[in-house]
Chain A
Amino acid sequence: MLFNTLEYFLFLPITFFLYWAIKESRYQNIFILISSYIFYGWWDWRFLFLIFLSTFVDYFVAIRIEENHKQKRKKIYLLISIIFNLSILGFFKYYNFFVDSWIELLSKIGYQVTDVWTLKIILPVGISFYTFQTMSYSLDVYRSEIKATKDFISFASFVSFFPQLVAGPIERASNLLPQILNKRKFDYKQSVNGLKLILWGLFKKVVIADSLSLLVTPIFENYTSLNGGELLLGLIYFSFQIYCDFSGYSDIAIGTAKMFGIELRSNFIFPYFSRDISEFWRRWHVSLSSWFRDYIYIPLGGSKKGKWITIRNIFIIFIISGFWHGDNFTFITWGLIHALLYLAIAVSNKNRRYTTAIVAANRMTPSIKEIFQISITFFTVMISWVFFRSNTIIDSFLYLQKMMINFSIPISYRSGLVYIFFFIVSDWLNRKDERNPLNISSVYVRWTTYILMLLLIFGHGGQKNEFIYFQF
């Protein structure tokens, strides 16, 4: 079920009222579990089995890890969880990639493979998200950061909690599980804030991202026949399309969870106002980048074991991050570019300059220096998106080459700038709190804004595009 469909528009209020009509948290959790499985099964019920299996394995593995006192045994159980989760992820997401790459490699050295076992594998929606979530649970229990739960229903609800099941934020058990285990009370303010986030998320997805998508698709498909200015516009549009699409999804997920009395982690904290690439990675897809940091980068030694180990670790997490996004070398190249950009800052120890406050936190406008920093960061991130969006690496390079060599003022595709201008202004005004958009004091102005936004959402809602991150 997609968030931007009529089905969800009916599903959400029904589940919301039934959920709060149930007084006991134990039954509420059973209800969450059933609703989440309906939500997921709406797309393809066969893959419910996979979620259940992943839940089942990590539930028992975590208990075994906690019960065993021998470190070696704990490690074996942890490995069971990691191997199991990575195997299902590897099979469903990367099997065809490895087979195709192998055939291509062999054909390059003169062997023609004619008979090979290939499968038409459908990628189960959300598999990259929930496998990471269950794995992190076993890892946290192994590191004694949390206690293994004996409540299977609550654990299954934690894994499949429908707002964040298919595209995150990737939750940590330490944050979400206690909220599911504890009693929840309906909070008027929390629910209203949740609705505001859903509205803002839908607006970003349906009005901005989907409108930009109508321009991005023809530009990237016909890039050979367009001028450099139009290609630059295509790149700017895609940068905002993917941001509004994915952060819109996260906002809807966080907002929906709020309505059920649950607080999810933030996933996007105004990444395009970052002053350097390291700040960008603290603000972009936070739940995934912090996952890589906590479960891969730091265990590998992080930046504490000398320069070369740091460089190696940076490359590892960015390449894995690229690979996580999909079975195409374009994503790996995208990861490599970010590794290089990050390295340039990390080796000069400037990667922790902007760790907390947003730019111009106490001012209305940024300084000239900050504008310059933001522009440079955005430009580099934008260039890297070419690799993310193009079908092949060759297409990416040709796109960039054509954009630079054949540059002239764009004569078409300019309409998207209106959306971007509006979005930048509203994001800037709201930049102090990503979890509290549409913070308008006057009731009349606020309600008028909500109604206007809803009219625009429904007015733009005809296409019902999938969220980009569903494919990952």
Chain B
Amino acid sequence: MEVRKTNLSIFNFKMKKFIKRGVLFLIITGIVSLIVGFLSVFVSKKTFEYKIKEKKNILIVGNSHTECSVNDSIISNSVNLSQSASSYFYSYMKIREFTKYNPQIDTVIISFSDNDLFSQKEKWFSSSQKINNKMTRHIILFNKDDYLDLFKSNPLEVSFQTFILYSDFYNLHMQKRDFIGSYNKINVNKIDEAIIEFNLSPPIVDEEIAITELKYLQKIYEFTQESNIKLILLNTPIHPILEKHFSVIKARNLEIVSEKMPNATYFDHTSFVLENSMYADLSHLNNKGSNKYSEFLQSIFNK
């Protein structure tokens, strides 16, 4: 008796062929991209200039506040590696890696603005958008623990980025150290628009703390303590209306510093006097403002 085999499969032969070839193609592409990625990281790590000039003993890291405020060409013994929207996670890696290659670094300045610990800054570490923008850019600074920490926060995005580790290879080689951070000279002054916008919708003062940001700030503190490096938490100048608005949070931030980072130096320069023309917006200085402020900082460090 002939037994007819029933086809229970939902897909026909052509579709199965399509799936097989598609999967094969994706596997090959995945393997190739991983190989290219790891090779490019290997080459970048070998060729990257971690070494900075011997006379530069001050390392400046942080987000756009230090990026736009501190002109490292005026403070001649410093190098500014700040970058906008940088989580303390990336600043920590920069400090760790650059001090390893540059034993002359005895001072680290890190941005510590009134709003840097707002809970919304948690996204700077774990949001897909930020990981997309920052991970491959800083990949040469990562070690295994850094990678795992980031992976735990957003497995899908980190997995995807792992397949495109090569994506910033060209930029890193063209822009060198500037690609992971530098002083940002801003020529514009949009203070009037910023004041109008502030009056329409003032930024929320968030009393909740970004746990991961604080964790990495403390790691920075611990690392600098262990390495005998002076840590300066820098609250850069902001416009008086914003300073007044954020003033309610200052006491809390100060408490955090004194409790968790007792040996760190805290510079609060939010009320540093500047003309309106020296701001880019309410919380960032333009080149005129940064030059004036950097000269002031230079005078402090050269005392």
A contacts, CB < 8 Å to B:
6, 20-21, 186-188, 191-192, 447, 450-451, 454-455, 458-462, 464
Contact = CB atoms under 8 A, between A and B. Distances in A.
B162 to A, nearest CB: 11
B18 to A, nearest CB: 6
Given A6-B160, A462-B132, A455 B14 contact: no
Contacts of B163: 458
Contacts of A191: 18
12 contacts: A20-B11, A20-B15, A21-B11, A186-B18, A191-B18, A450-B25, A455-B36, A455-B166, A458-B167, A459-B164, A459-B167, A462-B132
B10 interface: yes
Nearest to B26: A454
Nearest to B134: A462
B163 to A, nearest CB: 7
B193 to A, nearest CB: 15
Given A455-B33, A459-B166, A447 B18 contact: no
Contacts of B32: 451, 455
A187 B18 CA distance: 10
Contact of A462 (B15, B28, B36, B133): B133
B290 to A, nearest CB: 20
A227 B133 CA distance: 32
Contacts of A187: 14
Nearest to B28: A451
Q: Which 6 A-B pairs have the closest CB atoms?
A: A459-B167, A188-B14, A458-B164, A21-B10, A451-B29, A186-B15
B78 interface: no
Contact of A447 (B28, B128, B136): B28
A192 B19 CA distance: 11
Interface of B: 10-12, 14-15, 17-18, 25, 28-29, 32-33, 36, 128, 132-133, 136, 156-157, 160, 163-164, 166-168
Contacts of A464: 132
Contacts of B136: 462
Nearest to B174: A415
Contacts, number: 50
Nearest to B24: A447
B18 A192 contact: yes
A220 B173 CA distance: 27
A454 B14 contact: no
Given A455-B32, A458-B164, A459-B166, 13 more contacts: A6-B156, A6-B160, A21-B10, A188-B15, A191-B18, A192-B18, A447-B25, A450-B29, A451-B25, A458-B33, A459-B164, A461-B164, A462-B136
A458 B164 CA distance: 6
A296 B156 CA distance: 49
A450 B164 CA distance: 16
B12 A186 contact: yes
Contacts of A454: 29, 33
A460 B167 contact: yes
B166 A186 contact: no
A199 B166 CA distance: 20
Residue of B29, B33, B133 with most partner-chain A CB within 10 A: B29
A21 B167 CA distance: 36
A460 B167 CA distance: 7
Contacts of B18: 186, 188, 191-192
A196 B36 CA distance: 23
A112 B88 CA distance: 51
A12 to B, nearest CB: 12
Contacts of B28: 447, 451
A459 B29 CA distance: 13
A241 B296 CA distance: 45
Contacts of A458: 33, 163-164, 167
A401 B134 CA distance: 40
B201 to A, nearest CB: 12
A118 to B, nearest CB: 14
A187 B164 CA distance: 32
B17 to A, nearest CB: 6
Nearest to A455: B33
A462 B17 contact: no
Nearest to B13: A188
Nearest to B167: A459
Contacts of A192: 18
Nearest to A187: B14
Contacts of B133: 462
Contacts of A186: 12, 14-15, 18
